[in-house]
Structure 1
Amino acid sequence: MTEPKSEGKGGVKTLGIRLPGELHAQFALVAQLDGLNLGDAVLRAVEFYVEAKRSEQDFAERAKAALEEIEREAAARRAAIEDLFGGTPEVAKEQDKAPGGARRRSGAES
């Protein structure tokens, strides 16, 4: 039996789902026959679903496309923030910390 994973990326999340009454009754019976509570049975079902998707022929390609889209969106947001502050916030903070004031502040003498 798979034990719930309470540690790791993202911790534990709660999921509320709606099932048609007949499917719920069947699911509850199958879980009971397997000696599982409904929460553990749902966890097993989700793990099974994820593993089945991983083995699909085009899944890795679709995941790669999704990752590339995330990277494009992140780059656009990063550019917007850089435009807003005239450079990356990290660079601006590091320049402010530099000895001797590597960055000129408005109203400060050179």
Structure 2
Amino acid sequence: MTTPTTGGDRQNPAGVKTLAIRLEPDVHTQLTLIAQLRGSTITDEIRKALMAHIAGIKENTDLASQAESALAEIDREAAARREAIAHLFGNDQEAAKPRAARGR
């Protein structure tokens, strides 16, 4: 579950999402011990683990290829919707205009 934040207090700075996770008791105990030994918090340890996980995924070329395919599909769907809206509201010239290709 994620909850957007709008305030700027210390516990929930603006732009930070709150995420609730469920952990088995033994995993929680181990995580608590790791945080204590490192002089850290459970949140910081989870954040470090997630950043390492994301960094590893970014190196996965198969996933990058899937992302490119997903972007192409998004572009196709958006073009079809633009065309449908233009036809629906009688603005066929706008529908015929080519759209700029999505860049990186």
Where on the TM-score scale, by shorter chain, does this alignment land: which range? 0.5 to 0.7
Q: Which runs of structure 2 are paired with 1:1-110 in the superposition (5 Å)?
A: 11-87=15-91
Q: Rg: which structure is higher?
A: 1
Cα separation, 2, equivalents of 1:81 and 1:46: 41
SS in structure 2 at match of 1:33:
helix
The change in CA–CA distance for 1:87 and 1:26 in structure 2 (over 3 A counts) is farther
The change in CA–CA distance for 1:29 and 1:80 in structure 2 (over 3 A counts) is farther
Unmatched segments (≥5 aa) in structure 1: 1-5, 92-110
The change in CA–CA distance for 1:39 and 1:64 in structure 2 (over 3 A counts) is same
RMSD of aligned C-alpha atoms?
A: 2.3
TM-score (norm 2): 0.63
TM-score (norm 1): 0.60
Cα separation, 1, equivalents of 2:39 and 2:91: 58
Higher alpha-carbon deviation: 74-83 or 15-24: 74-83
The one-letter code of the counterpart of 1:54 is K
